[in-house]
Amino acid sequence: MPWQPGDSIHSPVHEMITPDPPQIGSKQTYKLMIGAIVPRPIAFISTMSPEGIGNLAPFSFFNGVSSNPPAVMIAITRKKGGEKKDTLRNIESTHQFVVNSVNEWMVEPMNQCSAEYPYGLLK
């Protein structure tokens, strides 16, 4: 018989864990978050530079946050050296971006786009 309101719940979780991000570091915090937030949609964010050069990059930290007004959120970190990623540079310059959903047939091209390339690289 399925669970009904008022029924007790038997949780397999025995204790709450409170991670300390500064102590475990950003890499472990990232791994914790991507493992805990499931399903985790991936967006292909497309932007254009002011010079008209296209950029396409995958982002796993994105989501819809409001329907009225319609709003999405993407979290853009910086490159290892602290430089802004191309996506952020383009959005700040043009104030435009497109969120594209990723399907299974796009996994390999999406993965290829996740590498670090010089700004404005045309392939």
Report pLDDT digits (tens) over 19-54: 898 999 888 988 888 888 777 788 889 999 999 999
Task: Summarize pLDDT for 83-110 with one digit per residue, the tens.
Answer: 999 999 999 999 999 998 877 777 787 7
For 88, the enclosing helix (H) or strand (E) is: helix 86-94
Q: What angle do CA 88, 101, 42 make, to 5 degrees?
A: 65
CA dihedral of 52, 81, 43, 98, whole degrees rounded to 10: -20
Phi and psi based region of residue 15 (left: phi greater than 0; alpha: psi -120 to 50; beta: remaining): beta
Distance CA 33, CA 62 (A): 13
pTM for this structure? Answer: 0.69
Q: Name the 3-class secondary structure at 3.
A: coil
Q: Regarding the domain with residue range 21-113, which homologous superfamily does it belong to in the CATH classification?
A: Electron Transport, Fmn-binding Protein; Chain A (2.30.110.10)
